[in-house]
Amino acid sequence: MKRLFLFITLLVVASIACNASQSQPSAATQPVETATSPTPALSADEGSQNEAGTSSSAFDSSKLGTVESDVTYCTVDGVALKMDVYYPFENRERFAATMFVHGGGWRKGDKSGGAGEMEFAELQQAGFLVVSVNYRLAPEYEFPAMIEDVKCAVRSLRAHADEYNLDPNRIGVFGSSAGGHLVAMLGTTDESAGFDVGEYLDQSSRVQAVVDMFGPVDLTAAVATDSETVQNAFGSFDLALASPVTYVSADDPPFLILHGEEDALVPIAQSEELLAKLQAAGVQAELVPVANAGHGFKPVSGQISPAREEIVQLTVTFFEEMLK
Protein backbone atom coordinates (compact mmCIF):
# COMPACT_ATOMS: atom_id res chain seq x y z
CA MET A 1 0.00 0.00 0.00
CA LYS A 2 2.82 2.39 0.87
CA ARG A 3 4.48 1.55 -2.45
CA LEU A 4 1.24 2.30 -4.36
CA PHE A 5 0.82 5.62 -2.54
CA LEU A 6 4.43 6.58 -3.27
CA PHE A 7 4.01 5.69 -6.94
CA ILE A 8 0.85 7.84 -7.28
CA THR A 9 2.58 10.74 -5.52
CA LEU A 10 5.52 10.58 -7.95
CA LEU A 11 3.14 10.62 -10.91
CA VAL A 12 1.38 13.79 -9.63
CA VAL A 13 4.69 15.63 -9.05
CA ALA A 14 5.96 14.73 -12.51
CA SER A 15 2.74 15.95 -14.12
CA ILE A 16 2.90 19.29 -12.29
CA ALA A 17 6.54 19.81 -13.35
CA CYS A 18 5.75 19.03 -16.96
CA ASN A 19 2.87 21.51 -17.12
CA ALA A 20 4.98 24.21 -15.53
CA SER A 21 7.76 23.79 -18.10
CA GLN A 22 5.27 24.01 -21.01
CA SER A 23 3.67 27.24 -19.72
CA GLN A 24 7.04 29.14 -19.46
CA PRO A 25 8.70 30.05 -22.82
CA SER A 26 12.39 29.40 -23.24
CA ALA A 27 14.94 32.24 -23.42
CA ALA A 28 15.18 31.76 -27.20
CA THR A 29 11.47 32.46 -27.65
CA GLN A 30 11.03 35.26 -25.12
CA PRO A 31 9.26 38.29 -26.70
CA VAL A 32 11.79 41.14 -27.30
CA GLU A 33 10.84 44.76 -26.72
CA THR A 34 11.85 46.60 -29.90
CA ALA A 35 12.62 50.31 -30.16
CA THR A 36 10.54 52.45 -32.52
CA SER A 37 12.26 52.63 -35.91
CA PRO A 38 13.67 56.10 -36.61
CA THR A 39 12.15 58.17 -39.41
CA PRO A 40 14.36 57.80 -42.48
CA ALA A 41 16.55 60.84 -43.05
CA LEU A 42 15.64 63.02 -46.02
CA SER A 43 18.04 63.05 -48.89
CA ALA A 44 19.61 66.36 -49.87
CA ASP A 45 17.10 66.78 -52.69
CA GLU A 46 14.13 65.84 -50.50
CA GLY A 47 15.32 68.21 -47.80
CA SER A 48 15.55 71.06 -50.28
CA GLN A 49 12.06 70.38 -51.57
CA ASN A 50 10.72 70.30 -48.05
CA GLU A 51 12.40 73.60 -47.17
CA ALA A 52 11.21 75.23 -50.38
CA GLY A 53 7.62 74.20 -49.88
CA THR A 54 7.07 74.49 -46.14
CA SER A 55 6.81 77.65 -44.08
CA SER A 56 9.12 77.69 -41.07
CA SER A 57 7.52 77.51 -37.65
CA ALA A 58 10.52 79.47 -36.33
CA PHE A 59 9.62 82.57 -38.37
CA ASP A 60 8.02 85.48 -36.52
CA SER A 61 5.30 86.63 -38.92
CA SER A 62 4.93 89.93 -37.03
CA LYS A 63 8.10 91.02 -38.86
CA LEU A 64 6.32 91.07 -42.24
CA GLY A 65 6.69 94.48 -43.90
CA THR A 66 9.27 95.68 -41.37
CA VAL A 67 12.99 96.45 -41.50
CA GLU A 68 15.35 94.92 -38.95
CA SER A 69 18.53 97.00 -38.72
CA ASP A 70 22.08 96.16 -37.69
CA VAL A 71 21.73 92.40 -37.46
CA THR A 72 25.11 90.73 -36.93
CA TYR A 73 25.56 88.14 -39.66
CA CYS A 74 29.17 87.12 -38.88
CA THR A 75 31.99 88.17 -36.56
CA VAL A 76 35.59 88.31 -37.78
CA ASP A 77 38.47 88.95 -35.36
CA GLY A 78 36.10 90.68 -32.98
CA VAL A 79 34.50 92.81 -35.72
CA ALA A 80 30.70 92.38 -35.85
CA LEU A 81 29.54 92.49 -39.48
CA LYS A 82 26.09 94.00 -39.84
CA MET A 83 23.18 93.73 -42.23
CA ASP A 84 19.70 95.22 -42.55
CA VAL A 85 16.82 92.83 -43.24
CA TYR A 86 13.76 93.98 -45.23
CA TYR A 87 10.90 91.53 -44.79
CA PRO A 88 8.31 91.10 -47.55
CA PHE A 89 4.81 92.36 -46.89
CA GLU A 90 2.98 89.06 -47.35
CA ASN A 91 3.58 85.67 -45.79
CA ARG A 92 4.60 82.92 -48.17
CA GLU A 93 5.78 79.36 -47.77
CA ARG A 94 9.47 80.22 -48.21
CA PHE A 95 10.88 83.54 -49.40
CA ALA A 96 13.41 83.89 -52.17
CA ALA A 97 16.18 86.17 -50.89
CA THR A 98 18.12 88.98 -52.55
CA MET A 99 21.27 90.43 -50.99
CA PHE A 100 22.63 93.88 -51.85
CA VAL A 101 26.34 94.72 -51.65
CA HIS A 102 27.12 98.45 -51.68
CA GLY A 103 29.84 100.22 -53.64
CA GLY A 104 32.35 102.88 -52.64
CA GLY A 105 35.71 101.81 -54.02
CA TRP A 106 36.04 99.05 -51.36
CA ARG A 107 36.92 101.84 -48.90
CA LYS A 108 33.63 103.60 -48.07
CA GLY A 109 29.87 103.25 -48.40
CA ASP A 110 27.23 101.68 -46.22
CA LYS A 111 24.42 99.14 -46.33
CA SER A 112 21.82 101.89 -45.87
CA GLY A 113 22.39 103.56 -49.22
CA GLY A 114 23.89 103.33 -52.66
CA ALA A 115 22.81 102.67 -56.20
CA GLY A 116 20.66 99.70 -55.21
CA GLU A 117 18.53 101.46 -52.62
CA MET A 118 15.67 102.11 -55.05
CA GLU A 119 15.37 98.38 -55.57
CA PHE A 120 14.81 97.53 -51.89
CA ALA A 121 11.14 98.55 -51.61
CA GLU A 122 10.22 97.11 -55.02
CA LEU A 123 11.81 93.76 -54.23
CA GLN A 124 10.19 93.76 -50.80
CA GLN A 125 6.82 94.51 -52.44
CA ALA A 126 7.39 91.69 -54.94
CA GLY A 127 7.69 89.19 -52.09
CA PHE A 128 11.46 88.93 -51.70
CA LEU A 129 13.38 88.93 -48.45
CA VAL A 130 15.96 91.68 -49.00
CA VAL A 131 19.17 92.04 -47.03
CA SER A 132 21.79 94.74 -47.38
CA VAL A 133 25.23 94.04 -45.93
CA ASN A 134 28.26 95.93 -44.71
CA TYR A 135 31.74 94.49 -45.08
CA ARG A 136 35.22 95.40 -43.88
CA LEU A 137 36.69 98.35 -45.75
CA ALA A 138 40.12 99.45 -47.00
CA PRO A 139 42.63 100.70 -46.13
CA GLU A 140 42.22 99.19 -42.66
CA TYR A 141 41.37 95.86 -44.26
CA GLU A 142 42.74 94.78 -47.63
CA PHE A 143 41.26 92.30 -50.05
CA PRO A 144 40.25 89.45 -49.69
CA ALA A 145 38.52 90.66 -46.49
CA MET A 146 35.61 92.05 -48.53
CA ILE A 147 34.81 88.88 -50.48
CA GLU A 148 35.34 86.74 -47.37
CA ASP A 149 32.72 88.86 -45.59
CA VAL A 150 30.02 88.75 -48.25
CA LYS A 151 30.54 85.02 -48.67
CA CYS A 152 30.06 84.64 -44.93
CA ALA A 153 26.82 86.65 -45.28
CA VAL A 154 25.45 84.16 -47.83
CA ARG A 155 26.41 81.21 -45.64
CA SER A 156 24.83 82.92 -42.62
CA LEU A 157 21.54 83.37 -44.49
CA ARG A 158 21.46 79.67 -45.26
CA ALA A 159 22.34 78.74 -41.68
CA HIS A 160 19.41 80.87 -40.43
CA ALA A 161 16.96 79.93 -43.20
CA ASP A 162 14.25 78.90 -40.74
CA GLU A 163 14.54 82.12 -38.77
CA TYR A 164 14.11 84.23 -41.92
CA ASN A 165 11.70 81.80 -43.61
CA LEU A 166 13.90 81.84 -46.70
CA ASP A 167 14.51 79.15 -49.27
CA PRO A 168 18.28 78.40 -49.18
CA ASN A 169 18.12 77.26 -52.82
CA ARG A 170 16.91 80.68 -54.05
CA ILE A 171 19.39 83.40 -53.14
CA GLY A 172 20.24 86.20 -55.57
CA VAL A 173 22.72 89.05 -55.17
CA PHE A 174 23.02 92.54 -56.62
CA GLY A 175 25.61 95.23 -56.19
CA SER A 176 26.96 98.44 -57.65
CA SER A 177 30.52 99.48 -58.53
CA ALA A 178 32.81 97.79 -55.97
CA GLY A 179 29.69 95.95 -54.84
CA GLY A 180 29.18 94.87 -58.45
CA HIS A 181 32.69 93.43 -58.40
CA LEU A 182 31.92 91.53 -55.19
CA VAL A 183 28.61 90.06 -56.39
CA ALA A 184 30.30 89.01 -59.63
CA MET A 185 32.89 87.24 -57.49
CA LEU A 186 30.06 85.55 -55.57
CA GLY A 187 28.63 84.37 -58.87
CA THR A 188 31.85 83.00 -60.31
CA THR A 189 33.81 81.58 -57.36
CA ASP A 190 33.23 78.46 -55.33
CA GLU A 191 35.00 77.03 -52.27
CA SER A 192 38.05 76.11 -54.33
CA ALA A 193 38.92 79.82 -54.72
CA GLY A 194 39.86 79.94 -51.03
CA PHE A 195 37.59 82.83 -49.98
CA ASP A 196 35.30 80.75 -47.76
CA VAL A 197 36.70 81.25 -44.26
CA GLY A 198 35.15 81.96 -40.88
CA GLU A 199 31.71 80.92 -39.69
CA TYR A 200 29.08 78.56 -41.12
CA LEU A 201 31.50 76.60 -43.26
CA ASP A 202 28.99 73.75 -43.45
CA GLN A 203 26.92 76.01 -45.72
CA SER A 204 27.57 77.00 -49.34
CA SER A 205 28.28 80.56 -50.45
CA ARG A 206 27.12 79.91 -54.02
CA VAL A 207 24.23 82.04 -55.30
CA GLN A 208 21.52 81.43 -57.90
CA ALA A 209 21.33 84.81 -59.70
CA VAL A 210 23.53 87.92 -60.03
CA VAL A 211 22.80 91.53 -60.98
CA ASP A 212 26.09 93.37 -61.54
CA MET A 213 25.77 97.15 -61.87
CA PHE A 214 28.89 98.74 -63.42
CA GLY A 215 31.31 96.63 -61.40
CA PRO A 216 35.02 96.27 -62.35
CA VAL A 217 35.54 92.64 -63.25
CA ASP A 218 39.08 92.57 -64.70
CA LEU A 219 41.26 94.39 -62.20
CA THR A 220 44.40 93.85 -64.25
CA ALA A 221 42.88 96.34 -66.71
CA ALA A 222 40.92 98.46 -64.20
CA VAL A 223 44.09 99.36 -62.31
CA ALA A 224 45.11 101.54 -65.23
CA THR A 225 42.05 103.78 -64.75
CA ASP A 226 42.11 104.13 -60.97
CA SER A 227 45.39 102.71 -59.72
CA GLU A 228 45.31 104.49 -56.33
CA THR A 229 41.93 103.06 -55.33
CA VAL A 230 42.88 99.57 -56.44
CA GLN A 231 46.25 99.78 -54.70
CA ASN A 232 44.65 100.88 -51.43
CA ALA A 233 42.12 98.06 -51.49
CA PHE A 234 44.17 95.18 -52.87
CA GLY A 235 47.74 95.94 -51.83
CA SER A 236 50.00 93.17 -53.09
CA PHE A 237 47.16 90.72 -53.76
CA ASP A 238 47.30 89.13 -57.24
CA LEU A 239 44.78 91.20 -59.22
CA ALA A 240 44.05 88.35 -61.61
CA LEU A 241 42.94 86.24 -58.63
CA ALA A 242 40.73 89.11 -57.48
CA SER A 243 38.99 89.37 -60.87
CA PRO A 244 35.65 87.66 -61.57
CA VAL A 245 36.59 87.01 -65.21
CA THR A 246 39.34 84.66 -63.99
CA TYR A 247 36.82 82.24 -62.46
CA VAL A 248 34.02 82.06 -65.05
CA SER A 249 32.80 78.49 -65.59
CA ALA A 250 29.80 76.69 -67.02
CA ASP A 251 28.13 76.18 -63.63
CA ASP A 252 27.86 79.92 -62.88
CA PRO A 253 24.36 81.33 -62.23
CA PRO A 254 22.53 83.66 -64.64
CA PHE A 255 23.86 87.23 -64.82
CA LEU A 256 22.15 90.53 -65.59
CA ILE A 257 24.75 93.25 -66.18
CA LEU A 258 23.84 96.96 -66.23
CA HIS A 259 26.43 99.57 -67.23
CA GLY A 260 26.47 103.22 -68.28
CA GLU A 261 27.79 103.76 -71.80
CA GLU A 262 29.58 106.96 -70.69
CA ASP A 263 31.14 105.52 -67.51
CA ALA A 264 34.64 107.01 -67.29
CA LEU A 265 35.57 105.40 -63.97
CA VAL A 266 34.73 101.78 -64.87
CA PRO A 267 34.51 101.62 -68.68
CA ILE A 268 31.69 99.54 -70.15
CA ALA A 269 34.38 97.43 -71.80
CA GLN A 270 34.75 95.75 -68.39
CA SER A 271 31.17 94.47 -68.53
CA GLU A 272 31.51 93.55 -72.18
CA GLU A 273 34.47 91.35 -71.28
CA LEU A 274 32.50 89.63 -68.52
CA LEU A 275 29.53 89.10 -70.86
CA ALA A 276 31.76 87.52 -73.50
CA LYS A 277 33.39 85.19 -70.95
CA LEU A 278 30.05 84.10 -69.49
CA GLN A 279 28.43 83.46 -72.84
CA ALA A 280 31.48 81.56 -74.09
CA ALA A 281 31.11 79.27 -71.07
CA GLY A 282 27.42 78.73 -71.83
CA VAL A 283 26.16 80.82 -68.89
CA GLN A 284 22.91 82.75 -69.31
CA ALA A 285 23.95 86.41 -69.34
CA GLU A 286 22.66 89.74 -70.63
CA LEU A 287 24.27 93.20 -70.75
CA VAL A 288 21.98 96.23 -70.76
CA PRO A 289 23.92 99.36 -71.81
CA VAL A 290 22.49 102.53 -70.25
CA ALA A 291 22.67 105.40 -72.74
CA ASN A 292 23.86 108.83 -71.54
CA ALA A 293 24.85 107.35 -68.17
CA GLY A 294 28.14 107.77 -66.37
CA HIS A 295 29.27 105.93 -63.26
CA GLY A 296 26.40 105.33 -60.86
CA PHE A 297 23.93 105.88 -63.74
CA LYS A 298 24.46 109.62 -63.44
CA PRO A 299 23.22 111.52 -66.54
CA VAL A 300 26.03 112.80 -68.75
CA SER A 301 24.29 114.27 -71.77
CA GLY A 302 20.53 114.19 -71.30
CA GLN A 303 18.22 111.65 -69.73
CA ILE A 304 19.55 108.15 -69.25
CA SER A 305 17.91 105.27 -71.09
CA PRO A 306 16.60 102.99 -69.71
CA ALA A 307 15.49 105.36 -66.94
CA ARG A 308 16.35 104.59 -63.33
CA GLU A 309 12.81 103.34 -62.63
CA GLU A 310 13.08 101.00 -65.60
CA ILE A 311 16.42 99.68 -64.32
CA VAL A 312 14.73 98.89 -61.01
CA GLN A 313 12.01 96.97 -62.85
CA LEU A 314 14.58 95.10 -64.94
CA THR A 315 16.25 93.96 -61.72
CA VAL A 316 12.99 92.87 -60.08
CA THR A 317 11.83 91.02 -63.19
CA PHE A 318 15.17 89.24 -63.54
CA PHE A 319 15.05 87.98 -59.96
CA GLU A 320 11.42 86.93 -60.38
CA GLU A 321 12.31 84.89 -63.44
CA MET A 322 15.46 83.33 -61.95
CA LEU A 323 14.42 82.74 -58.34
CA LYS A 324 10.65 82.10 -58.33
What's the pLDDT score for residue 116?
73
Q: Per the omega criterion (within 30 degrees of 0), is the bond before 244 cis?
A: no
Name the band, by pLDDT with cuts 50, 70 and 90, for residue 224. Answer: low
Helix (H, G, I), strand (E, B) or coil at 210: strand
The answer to the question of residue 315 being in a domain is yes
**pLDDT tens digits for 173-194?**
999 999 999 999 999 999 999 9
pLDDT average, residue stretch 247-275? 97
pLDDT for residue 86 is more than 80: yes
3-state helix, strand, coil in the chain (%, to 5): 40, 20, 40
> What CATH number does the domain containing 288 carry?
3.40.50.1820
Give the span between the Cα atoms of 79 and 91, in whole angstroms.
33
Cα angle, residue 55 at apex, residues 317 and 170 outer, rounded to 5°: 35
**pLDDT tens digits for 194-218?**
999 999 999 999 999 999 999 999 9
The answer to the question of residue 216 being in a domain is yes
The answer to the question of residue 33 being in a domain is no
The answer to the question of residue 38 being in a domain is no
What's the pLDDT score for residue 228?
85
First to last CA, the chain: 101
pLDDT average, residue stretch 30-56? 40
Full residue range of the structural domain in which residue 195 is found: 62-323
The answer to the question of residue 207 being in a domain is yes
Q: How many domains does the chain have?
A: 1
The answer to the question of residue 201 being in a domain is yes
pLDDT for residue 2 is more than 60: no
The answer to the question of residue 41 being in a domain is no
Nearest to 184 by CA among 204, 206, 211: 211
**pLDDT tens digits for 114-162?**
767 889 999 999 999 999 999 999 999 999 999 999 999 999 999 999 9
**pLDDT tens digits for 280-294?**
999 999 999 999 999
The answer to the question of residue 185 being in a domain is yes
Q: What percent of the chain has pLDDT over 70?
A: 82
What's the pLDDT score for residue 92?
75
What's the pLDDT score for residue 53?
60
pLDDT for residue 100 is more than 50: yes
Give the span between the Cα atoms of 5 and 11, in whole angstroms.
10
